Every structure is written in structure tokens, then in C-alpha cells.
Amino acid sequence: MTAPLYLAPRLEHRLTSLLGTKGFLHQLAGALGSPLNVVLPDQIADNLRRFQEVYERRNLSGKVYFAHKANRSSALVRRLADTCAHIDIASLGELRHALGSGFSPDRIMATGPKSPEFLWLAARTGVTVNLDSADELETLVAIVTKHQLPPARVLVRLSEFDSTGATVLSRRSRFGTPVDAFSRLLDALERHRDTVRLTGIAHHLDTIGLTEKATALESCIALMHECAARGLSPHVIDIGGGFGVNYLADSAQWETFTSELSNAVLGSRPPLTWRNHGYGLRNEGGTLRGALGLYPAHRPLAGPRYLDELLGLQAPSLSRPLATLLLENLHELYIEPGRALVDQCGVVLARVLEVRDNAGGECFVRLEMNASDVSLEEHGVLMDPVLVPRPDRTCPSTGPVGVYLIGNLCLEADFITRRMVFLPHRPSPGDLLTFPNTAGYFMDFSADHALHQPIARKVAAYQDGGRWRWCLDENYWPITSGSEDC
């Protein structure tokens, strides 16, 4: 075998402690089945605090909205309701869930395209509506008028920001109103000023590019003046989410993997992936073409640090730090982190069913789960699972093995990941493979009932006087945790 190419996950103390409780994890999976999702509600409160520290350091006022769509868990949302966080919901179901989890309407914002029913419940309860389009504004106005509701507080979501330096034009988006059409939207907002109150302008760019985000933020600051000139008085700029997560512990492992993947695609080393899949790279007559379509899994500038970096950047045309501009104009800053707020907040457990070798010397580990139960591959995130052997078993001294992880769907394509995964030793049936740091989008965003396979149950795990305890996700209420000072 070639030298193992690990992509070790970055684990903070809470996840490290949980993964060290082998007996506890095996008991859980034994009782509740495989796959099993475990969420860590106390971690989300810690993550919130780190974002709030950026606000404090920069003297900014504003609000942190958790983008609920990153995870369906009740425990995470209820734990967050017990802090000073706010929540961003994107469906009628998420709105009901947030209200029922303890978020009062003044702490909720509705984003994304909305149905009339969704708009009615938002307006009826007094939730802030982040308007996706001019049509949505008209629907909301009609609902507020017909049902004689109090004026709705709205933000408008904009897209397609033009950079003045002609370098970046942010990519087209299916969401929001193009900046070009902002004036017309303001006409409508002026017309409807007794039914809707404009409190701010928003954007959410699905990119990791800091310059694109700086351009969008500076544009929003300029547009606030246009609103004021019309006699509207928004005070909020909402820069959305997309702060990202650093998944890997070691930059060298990531660099080695990506360069060895290129070599494998070019045929100068044995394949690292099933059928030498290139994740976007291809070999054209000995030349490497294409672009690596993977999340930059080692990403030290992520989460709160990314926010801080963005705020410290010079505004592209005004050449002053963005944080200073926000502060001088007394704008409140809203953010909507999803993935970054659930960093280190969960793990997916799966039981090993079978370990088999084929005639070509390849080793397959069949798990009691499928790719939709841990959709790392679909989201382009490559990181190693952690092997948790059965507590009663002495680990074989086989040394590291490279294996392919396959799922429980009778499909040739049911790979958990197409990458060869290196494990410290050969696993056995009954061992657990744990996929850490999967609370953001991977554990339940895509899960379904193909072949009548069960969807993972979800439990909340928390520490109580040094001991790990658990309950079903739906039974978790934050009455055991201390509440936060706001």
C-alpha cells in the first residue's frame, strides 16, 4: 500500500471528549440504531459568543441570526433560544419551529422566497421579513392590508453588486433584487409606507471571496444614503452568512492530498479515488485541466475570524475600513451564519457491517448508512471519519489501511465518499465509524427513505458534572444549562 494520506478532522475539546467515550457511543448506537446523529447544544452557545466578541472588539452593534436551514435539530434551536441569538428561518415549517422553540417574533427574521401562508404567519406574529423580490413586497402589502395587520418590518435583499473597479461583478443569483432595480423597489416602499417599514438592506453571497463581500457591503452603505434621501430611515445592513468552517486539523495534509490527487489524475501515482475520479480535475493528453470542485477543507480564516477580517478590510472605493464606515454611520450589522454557528456541533455515527477485499486488492467497508445520511461528498467536503472500535475488542495491529466506504443502498454508486479513506487499522463488523463536525448541512439536509432505510434518529448530548448524558433531540429543553448574559 502507498503511504496513508490522512485528512484528519479539526476537533475542539467538546467533540474530542465525546469521541473518547467509546462505551457511551456504542451504547447509543446499540440502542437507537445506525446511522445516528448526535448534536452538542452547548457548543452552539460557545460559537455564538465568538461571533459576539467580534462585535465587541469592533464596537459594532447588531444581531447574529442563526440560519436554521443548516440543521433541523430542535435541541440546537432551543439552546440558542436561551442565549441572546436571533434566528433566520426560510420556510413556514422553520418559522413554526422557531416560535415553538422559544424565539419570540422580535428575534426572528424570514428570508428566502416565501409563500403567502408563510408571509401571513410572519406578518401576523410580527417577524421581520427579509424581502426577496418586488412581487413579494406586493403580496405582503396585500396580506397586511386585507388582514388589518400592524405595519410589517422589512429588509430588502439585494444581489448582483457591481464593483467600481470593474474587477468583480458578483455572480448572478436566483435570490434577491438586482441592485439595478433598487430605485424602483424604493418607489414601491415609499408608496406602501403605512403597511411596511423599511428597517434595512441585506445580501447573502454564496462565496468565500472577501473582495466580493467587501464590494457588496460598501455598496449597501452607499444605498443607505439613497434611502435616507427618500425620507426612509433604515438602520440595518445585513450581510448574510457564508463565513465558513475550517474542517481539517492540518494544512500539510490538505496540501499533500490535493497535489497527490493531481498526480493520480495524471497517472503518475496509484489512484486515490474510486476509478480515479478527479473531483473536477482531468487528464487531457498528459496535461491537468479543469478546476478542483471541492470545499477548501483546510480554511484557517473561517467563522468569526473571517467576519473580523472582512470588517477590517478597506472599503474598495472609500478606502476606509468597513467597520469604521458602519460605526460612523451608526448602522447596525446583522449576520446570518449557518454552517459556522454549528461548527463542532455534531457527529454522525455509523456501524460497520462488513469488510471485504476484491480481487484487485481493494478493501470495501460497508456501513449501515448511505451517502444521503452524511452528505459530505455532495457538499465537496473531504475529511476523515474517526474509527471507534467495539469496546470489547483489542485492535488488530494491521497498521493503516486505505478503504472505500460504501453504503446500504443496492446501487453501484452508493459510495459514502469516492475518496480512498485511510484508517489507522483495519475495521471489523460492529465497530463504529464516526463522522465528526457534520452538524452543518451534512447530517440531515439530504437524508431520505430510499429502500425504506431508516433516517437517522437524532439525540442531544451534553456534559453534566464531567459525565456525558443524552436525550432524544425532541426531548431536549435547555433547563439544565445556565442561561447567558446578554
Ligand X SMILES: *Cc1c(COP(=O)(O)O)cnc(C)c1O
Q: What is the C-alpha separation between 131 and 203, in angstroms, rounded?
A: 11
Residues involved in catalysis: 410
Among 336, 368, 373, 431, binds ligand X (CB under 6 A): 336
**Binding residues among 443-482 for ligand X as defined by CB under 6 A:** none
The span of 40-48, 193-201, 332-340, 368-376 binding ligand X (CB under 6 A) equals: 332-340
Q: Which is nearer to ligand X, 239 or 386 (CB)?
A: 239
Burial string for 294-306 (b: 16+ CB within 10 Å, else e) reads: bbbbbbeebbbbb
Q: Which is nearer to ligand X, 243 or 415 (CB)?
A: 243
Residue 67 sits in the site that holds ligand X (CB under 6 A): yes
The span of 35-43, 246-254, 260-268, 336-344 binding ligand X (CB under 6 A) equals: 336-344
Residue 37 sits in the site that holds ligand X (CB under 6 A): no
Taking CA atoms, 479 is separated from 58, 87, 96, in Å, by 33, 20, 21
Closest CA to 374 of 403, 415, 430: 415
Q: Which is nearer to ligand X, 336 or 414 (CB)?
A: 336
Tell me the per-residue interface mask from 90 to 119 with ligand X, x by CB under 6 A, - otherwise. ---------------------xx-------
Q: Which is nearer to ligand X, 340 or 403 (CB)?
A: 340
Among 10, 79, 339, 458, binds ligand X (CB under 6 A): 339
Nearest distance from C-beta of residue 32 to ligand X, angstroms: 27
Residue 338 sits in the site that holds ligand X (CB under 6 A): yes
Q: What is the C-alpha separation between 326 and 330, in angstroms, rounded?
A: 6
Please, which residues bridge with residue 63 across strands? 334
Residue 337 sits in the site that holds ligand X (CB under 6 A): yes
Give yes or no for a contact between 453 and 52, defined as CB atoms under 8 angstroms apart: no
Please give the DSSP secondary-structure letter assigned to residue 169. B
Please, which residues bridge with residue 468 across strands? 463
Largest CA distance in the chain: 75
Residue 242 sits in the site that holds ligand X (CB under 6 A): yes
Residues 6+ apart with CB under 8 A from 472: 457, 458, 459, 460
Residue 241 sits in the site that holds ligand X (CB under 6 A): yes
Among 7, 44, 70, 371, binds ligand X (CB under 6 A): 70
Among 14, 58, 68, 69, binds ligand X (CB under 6 A): 69
The span of 76-84, 218-226, 240-248, 392-400 binding ligand X (CB under 6 A) equals: 240-248
Closest CA to 346 of 106, 129, 43: 43
Q: Which is nearer to ligand X, 67 or 237 (CB)?
A: 67
* Cα 75 off chain centre by: 17
Phi/psi at 372 (5° precision): -80, -15
Residue 346 sits in the site that holds ligand X (CB under 6 A): no
Residue 176 sits in the site that holds ligand X (CB under 6 A): no
Q: What is the C-alpha separation between 416 and 139, in angstroms, rounded?
A: 43
Tell me the per-residue interface mask from 286 to 325 with ligand X, x by CB under 6 A, - otherwise. ----------------------------------------
Burial string for 75-88 (b: 16+ CB within 10 Å, else e) reads: bbbbbbbbbebbbb
* Residues contributing to the site for ligand X (CB under 6 A): 67, 69-70, 88, 111-112, 204, 240-243, 336-340
